[in-house]
């Protein structure tokens, strides 16, 4: 029974995507931030349990990255619809994910197996994306503060996180295209 703990935690993270998105859209940054941090902790915890105790499963291999993707995309869309993230940023992030999804489908249709683990650049991209989301949500909490230093620090951190997201977006998609993409291209030509 305990071996199912990572999968239960993963499902919980998947389910947290909805209240996080709703909280962001409704302007409840405190609740959104708390739930987002809880979801982030759950990602660490399910991975730690799976690795430490060998509680891995085929379901977990599939569901864990999907729960992460749901969390990222639902948060991304909520931040976009609440005008907290520029549409151009949202667009390139969604295009990246779309390219990867199309690539996975093509790869699976051409080859018998596919490793769903992200490349190292994809892991950095996810980390910077999570940092950006947390900084934006924290920014909603400092809006009422009349301290220009706090506001300026938050804006600088947001710009740095955005640069990190864009840099690792480019590196991760380049790596996917170079590795899996070249394999697909070689197979279909």
User: pLDDT tens digit string along 146-172?
Assistant: 777 777 888 899 999 999 999 999 999
User: pLDDT tens digit string along 48-100?
Assistant: 999 999 999 989 888 988 899 899 999 999 999 999 999 999 999 999 989 98
Same-domain check for residues 90 and 159: yes
Same-domain check for residues 89 and 170: yes
Same-domain check for residues 90 and 166: yes
**Residue 142 exposed, middle or buried by CB count within 10 Å (0-12, 13-18, 19+):** middle
Same-domain check for residues 45 and 89: no
What's the full length of the chain, in residues?
Answer: 189
The domain boundary residue, chosen from 82, 115, 131: 82
Same-domain check for residues 123 and 48: no
26: tokens are 């409704």
Q: How many domains does the chain have?
A: 2
CA distance 106 to 189: 13
The domain boundary residue, chosen from 33, 58, 82: 82
For 87, residues 6+ apart whose C-beta sits below 8 A from its C-beta are: 80
Integer angstrom CA distances of residue 84 from 19, 33, 53, 115, 145: 17, 14, 40, 34, 17
Give the residue numbers spanning the domain of 139.
Answer: 85-189
In terms of pTM, does the model score above 0.75?
Answer: yes
Same-domain check for residues 107 and 185: yes
11: tokens are 């499902």
């Amino acid at each position: 029974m305990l071996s199912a703990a990572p999968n239960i935690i993963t499902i919980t993270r998947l389910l947290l995507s909805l209240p996080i998105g709703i909280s962001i859209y409704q302007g409840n940054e405190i609740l959104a931030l708390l739930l987002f941090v809880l979801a982030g902790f759950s990602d660490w915890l399910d991975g730690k349990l799976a690795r430490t105790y060998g509680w891995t499963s085929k379901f977990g291999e599939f569901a864990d990255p999907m729960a992460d993707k749901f969390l990222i995309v639902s948060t991304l869309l909520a931040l976009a619809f609440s005008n907290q993230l520029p549409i151009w940023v949202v667009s390139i992030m969604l295009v990246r994910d779309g390219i990867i999804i199309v690539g996975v489908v093509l790869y699976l249709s051409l080859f018998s197996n596919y490793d769903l683990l992200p490349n190292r650049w994809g892991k950095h991209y996810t980390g910077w994306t999570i940092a950006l989301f947390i900084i934006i949500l924290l920014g909603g909490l400092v809006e009422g503060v009349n301290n220009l230093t706090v506001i300026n620090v938050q804006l600088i951190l947001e710009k740095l996180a955005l640069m990190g997201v864009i840099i690792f977006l480019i590196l991760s998609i380049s790596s996917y295209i170079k590795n899996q993409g070249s394999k697909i291209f070689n197979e279909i030509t």
